[in-house]
Amino acid sequence: MDKHLVTPRNHKETIREYPITGLVEGWYFRQREVSNSCYVVEGSDVYGRTISRQTTGDPDAVLAECVAFARQSHGGHNAA
């Protein structure tokens, strides 16, 4: 199997799509209300890996889930 070089995404381009930063190093997040009290939280890292969760409750709780997953996949490092 051939390996393909993946170039990290540009910070300025990524932050336009995912404006929530500073929670996990190399990860960007966004929250959207897709219908009344129904939220989708999505995250992307600089290499294009993504995560998403949907809730009909607290969007901050589902953001915390995405952040926890991103930290786990990043090897436990956080930006703080």
pLDDT at 80 over 70: no
Query: Is the predicted pLDDT of residue 64 greater than 90, yes or no?
Result: yes
Per domain, the residue ranges of the chain are 11-73
Q: pLDDT by residue (tens digit) across 13-28?
A: 899 999 999 999 999 9
Distance CA 24, CA 72 (A): 10
Q: Residue 4: how many CA atoms within 13 Å on its side-chain side?
A: 4
Instruction: Say if CB 34 and CB 21 are below 8 A apart.
Output: no
At 75, is the pLDDT very low, low, confident or very high (cuts 50, 70, 90)?
low
Q: Please give the pLDDT value at position 39.
A: 94
